[in-house]
Structure 1
Amino acid sequence: MSDQGSLRSTLHQRGMRMTPQRQLVLDAVRELGHATPEQVCRRVQGTASTVNITTIYRALDLLEELGLVRHTHLGHGAPTYSAEEHEHVHLACHRCGTIDEVSTDLLDDLCRDLLARFGFALDATHLALSGTCRNCRNADAAEERR
């Protein structure tokens, strides 16, 4: 079944209707990989200029509720949306803004420890870690040697 057919079927099962705007938002998120609502809006407006940011937010909320997209906070500002099959941890450098992706497997020990000690089940697929990237740390070290 096509992406459009799948979305249409999922919406129909919930008593909702398929709209071109919903499909455009889903397509934009998939095309952009990681995108803020504003970036999705710009992409959608390239095809449908009358779609406004409120419609984008509503569509993103619905698509997330349906499990078709996920949002992650990669630092300050708007959340970033990606397709649901995107499962990784984001490493966000708070100095230069670089975003790297690493496997959720790296957090397996932490997940087990949190569950055993606190009964807390971490959703590592919905996570961003803030820190300083290698390039910024190397630049700092070079500056200190001067």
Structure 2
Amino acid sequence: MKTTDSMLTKITEKLHHSGFKLTPQREATIKIVLEKETEHMSAEEIYLAVKRKNSDIGLATVYRTLEILTDIEVVNKISFDDGLARYDLKKEGDKHFHHHLLCLKCGGIEEIAEDLLELVEQDVEKRFDFQIKDHRLTFHGICKHCQ
């Protein structure tokens, strides 16, 4: 796995390529997203984590940064049953958005890295003459800790 610094460098390059600068506020937000990449945090949770390290940042700035990161495909904005938009770091080299397991008892979210739908996608594209760009799959159930 790549270090946080090298991932930050790649994200910075992507920002610059898209016409954005890496401001201190954006950098602080990106560092939290990188540090907490498996946590599927909401904008408010990211804001609180950033605020603990950098008290000069506002919630609106974090929202704007997350929208930019979504637009340039650094993060995916996802919604689960709790109604909150959550942000998930896009893994380099992934062809598709990864799948999730959502526990209906504790709300825990676990990632599935493998693409489980390759054959289904091929069938859908062929049968319906439809060019698939991406898919999202969330399994709802009870995790092993809550069973």
TM-score by length of 2: 0.74
> Structure 1: 5+ residue runs without aligned partners?
140-146
Aligned pairs, how many?
136
Question: Residue type of the partner of 2:27?
Answer: Q
Which SS does the other structure have where 1:51 is aligned? coil
Tell me, in whole angstroms, the C-alpha distance in 1 between the residues paired with 2:16 and 2:109. 37
Alignment match, 1:144: none
Alignment match, 1:16: 20
Alignment match, 1:55: 61
Alignment match, 1:37: 43
Cα contact 2:43–2:62 (8 A) shared by 1: yes
Cα contact 1:74–1:90 (8 A) shared by 2: no
Cα contact 1:98–1:133 (8 A) shared by 2: no
RMSD: 2.8
Cα contact 1:29–1:83 (8 A) shared by 2: yes
Shift of the 55–94 alpha-carbon distance from structure 1 to 2, 3 Å rule, reads same
Shift of the 117–95 alpha-carbon distance from structure 1 to 2, 3 Å rule, reads farther
Alignment match, 2:124: 114
Bigger helix fraction: 1
Alignment match, 2:134: 123
> Structure 2: 5+ residue runs without aligned partners?
none
Cα contact 2:99–2:115 (8 A) shared by 1: no
Tell me, in whole angstroms, the C-alpha distance in 1 between the residues paired with 2:9 and 2:47. 23
Alignment match, 2:85: 79
Question: Which one of 135, 138, 142 corresponds to residue 133 of structure 1?
Answer: 142
Alignment match, 2:98: 88
Percent identity between matched residues is 27
Tell me, in whole angstroms, the C-alpha distance in 2 between the residues paired with 1:128 and 1:51. 34
Where does structure 1 differ by over 6 angstroms across 4 or more consecutive aligned residues?
A: none
TM-score by length of 1: 0.75
Q: CA deviation at 1:62?
A: 0.6
Is 89-98 or 113-122 further displaced after alignment?
113-122
Shift of the 40–121 alpha-carbon distance from structure 1 to 2, 3 Å rule, reads same
Q: CA deviation at 1:128?
A: 4.1
Shift of the 98–13 alpha-carbon distance from structure 1 to 2, 3 Å rule, reads closer
Shift of the 16–2 alpha-carbon distance from structure 1 to 2, 3 Å rule, reads same
